[in-house]
Structure 1
Amino acid sequence: MKVLPAVEWRPLADAHTARVDAFVEPHLARRSEQVSHPVHDFLFTYYSHRPAQLRRWHPGFGVGLEDAPDHAALKGYEQVECARGTAGHGAAHSTRVAESYVSAQRPLLRQLHTLLTATAGRAPQLGCFGLREWAMVHRSAEHGTRHDYPLRLGQDGTDAVVESHRIGCSHFDAFRFFTPTARPLNTLQPTRDDRPVFEQPGCLHAGMDLYKHAFRLSPMVPSDLVADCFELARDIRVLDMRAAPYDLTDLGFEPVAIETTAGKAAYVEAQRGFAERGAPLRARLIEECERLLAAQNS
């Protein structure tokens, strides 16, 4: 086990906190003022990872920390004795992610490995045009909307877009928010239990969920991986809402008009870019799952 002295790991922890605080602090300021942002607050409200958890730096399984009492108090960590001087400056103890904790996470590791490898093994499908957001407000006069912003094309225009396009949403956590009148229009009917059958790397929601998978693996994986996935998810959310039916121009977001030929082309180009950015992060998560599963058998 590699052990980092405090003089080495504390600057790494500080750099991580400063990196994510660029996003966390504006969110906390809005929250204190009871103001919500439909784009930038999404990752903090939809996902269960709290800002304080995102700010916390973890070295990942296999790395011990000298003089880390705060980490020692966290779930998943343990203090162990080490050879005199191994941890630097003659320290006799280090704090690390416990092997017993990794072992207890074996079902999660297997589940995520199955999902991630199945997704990575498919070619990206790029023709959805973000219509899931439109399907979530189909006939909203009957069902309501998810955000308090006007529909860019009005209700009739929005319904016409939904009803005149082929909708093939493969992601259950998006599909489950379709309005009752839009659900039958989807060519796929994904469920909670068949995600490995449907998810594909071109899906923006699957790209955002890399952040969810990463933080669910904390503290077993390094926090730089979590932060990388967070930044990808945040950028995806911007495209997601620019292509949504809402008019967010007052917030500074120019629409991607997916109801037009030019808008469709712009969406596909951006979607392809996100699939390319997500591929190495998905590969890293797969490698981490395999490393952690192998550690239990060593």
Structure 2
Amino acid sequence: MKILFVGDVVGSVGIKAIETYLPEIKKKVKPQLTIVNGENAAGGKGTKEPDYQKITRAGADVVTGGNHTWDKREILDFIDDPKKNILRPYNFPGKNVPGRGFIEINVNSKKVYVINMMGTAMMRALDNPFLAADDLLKTLDDDAIKFVDFHAETTSEKIAFANYMVGRVSAVVGTHTHVQTNDAQVINKQTALLTDVGMTGSYDGILGDKKEPIINNFLTQRPNRFDVDEDGRMQINFCVVEINDKTNNARSIKNYVITPNNQTFLN
């Protein structure tokens, strides 16, 4: 099975990049499942229903979240809709948390779990994702593919989590930092890892935001309002994970970028 995973969609440029590139990517990759992180789609923070609709119409089967999941209150109007495949991190603390932290999908008679987890190093004080994953996996079908979007700040936590999950999940792909890493690997011929898949949005900004306020912040050490760069050229970052349907182990993981200066994938 091939699973296509697309990095954090940031603002209207990110939505446009999804609408422009995702159909073409799917034609070439021919994935059985497409997952897109959409937690920055609504002006850089959160996801509104029109954003979700645009992402899914472009070809996403599941939309995952992260630390900005609750930034737009409108998400509460649709995150519990069972017809919408949108996730928030599983390890938010407390009971009766809106939405779902994982979803079960049947792909060509094969059961697949898409799981959304969030790290705690330099992030919010959520429940421990390592222990939360332990508890969750006890309730899931062992004979199933398990794909984890691990939304976290530090590379060390993402790598540690993937190694902790070796042989128990098929893939751990990191999101949140908006910069694609060059460490795609299959650990022990079992679990695919990419520390961060990168972002989908403005190629001309800084992590999807306008450059000037961020640069000024470093120059002055004074607060500046950071705004999403809605005028930049498009980029899209993604990876493709190939998984053995019989063993649920990853066979390969490859990361890709499409930017104004790198159109190799489309050729």
Could you tell me the TM-score, scaled by structure 1's length? 0.24
The structure with the greater share of residues assigned to strand is 2
Bigger Rg, which one? 1
Could you tell me the TM-score, scaled by structure 2's length? 0.25
